[in-house]
């Protein structure tokens, strides 16, 4: 006798649920990348916390600058903003940290370098601006402390004390209080907004932006005292006098009055 084979209906558990997305290769890859970024972010945050714990018992100014900058920049996820004062050590350390390939999604973080004119003497600063599309560089006049802003959450500030021999070298602090960080971020944003883009920074004597040069030349021509001119430009008296000396040297002028005359002859100032 030949048996009959009964064809049963597929059980519900073997049916395909059209509401569940197919596990395509792209979907799996995106999920794995997201998981990797999350793990890296957690590990980096943990390392930063460990580093900060190790700094707690020390004067932060005595911790090697490279250690602090590397730790903070490596943990940045969205933004890195830097005030470059022109110190050789800071320029080298910051550019080295920013030049390293960022892990995971950190390659999309925005980088802003606010440079005092003397910071542009470091070849690495210009090289970073030229080769890194994430990096925007602007130039400002004045006296600013070295500062590193990370993700709008942490600010590292380092400056020279009035008397290094007595006060023991550089002073540094790590600011994490939200209100204080926001105040410092606003100060940075104000200075950044008034700064000159690197590509729009033609210079006289290699250091001064056109606006500052014209203002100084106008002060020389009108006979302003150094004290009044420095106060008007919001720079120290010593900085103003250094700028004047640079301009006079570049113009080949033997006196301040002659510098004003030469400026008119060269079209740097309008004739009156």
Query: How does pLDDT run across 107-163, given as a tens digit for each residue?
Result: 678 999 999 888 887 788 888 888 888 899 998 877 788 999 999 999 999 986 555
Buried b (16+ CB within 10 A) or exposed e, 175-211: beeeeebeebbeebeeeeeebbebeebebbeebbbee
Q: How confident is the model at residue 170 (pLDDT cuts 50, 70, 90)?
A: confident
What are the CB-based long-range contacts (under 8 Å, 24+) for 173-176? Answer: 173/60, 174/52, 174/55, 174/60
Domains of the chain are 37-200 (3.30.870.10), 210-265 (1.10.10.10)
Rounded-to-integer distance, Cα 153 and Cα 240, Å: 35
pLDDT grade, residue 67 (50/70/90)? Answer: very high
């Amino acid at each position: 006798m030949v048996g009959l084979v009964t064809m049963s209906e597929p059980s519900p558990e073997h049916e395909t649920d059209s509401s569940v997305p197919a596990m395509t290769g792209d979907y799996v890859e995106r999920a794995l990348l997201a998981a990797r970024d999350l793990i890296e972010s957690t590990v980096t945050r943990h390392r930063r916390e460990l580093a900060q714990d190790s700094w707690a018992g020390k004067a932060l100014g005595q911790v090697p600058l490279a250690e602090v900058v590397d730790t903070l920049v490596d943990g940045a996820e969205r933004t890195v903003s830097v005030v470059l004062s022109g110190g050789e050590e800071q320029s080298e350390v910051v550019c080295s940290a920013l030049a390293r390939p960022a892990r995971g999604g950190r390659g999309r973080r925005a980088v802003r370098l606010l440079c005092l004119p003397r910071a542009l003497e470091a070849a690495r600063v210009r090289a970073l601006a030229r080769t890194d599309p994430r990096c925007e560089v602007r130039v400002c006049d004045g006296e600013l402390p070295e500062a590193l802003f990370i993700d709008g959450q942490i600010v590292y500030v380092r400056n020279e004390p009035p008397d290094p021999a007595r006060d023991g070298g550089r002073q540094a602090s790590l600011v994490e209080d939200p209100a204080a960080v926001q105040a410092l971020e606003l100060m940075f944003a104000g200075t950044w907004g008034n700064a000159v883009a690197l590509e729009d920074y033609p210079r006289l004597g290699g250091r001064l932006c056109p606006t500052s040069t014209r203002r100084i030349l106008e002060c020389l021509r009108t006979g302003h005292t150094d004290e009044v001119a420095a106060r008007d430009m919001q720079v120290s008296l010593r900085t103003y006098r250094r700028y004047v000396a640079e301009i006079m040297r570049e113009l080949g002028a033997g006196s301040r009055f002659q510098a004003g005359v030469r400026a008119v002859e060269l079209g740097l100032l309008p004739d009156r």
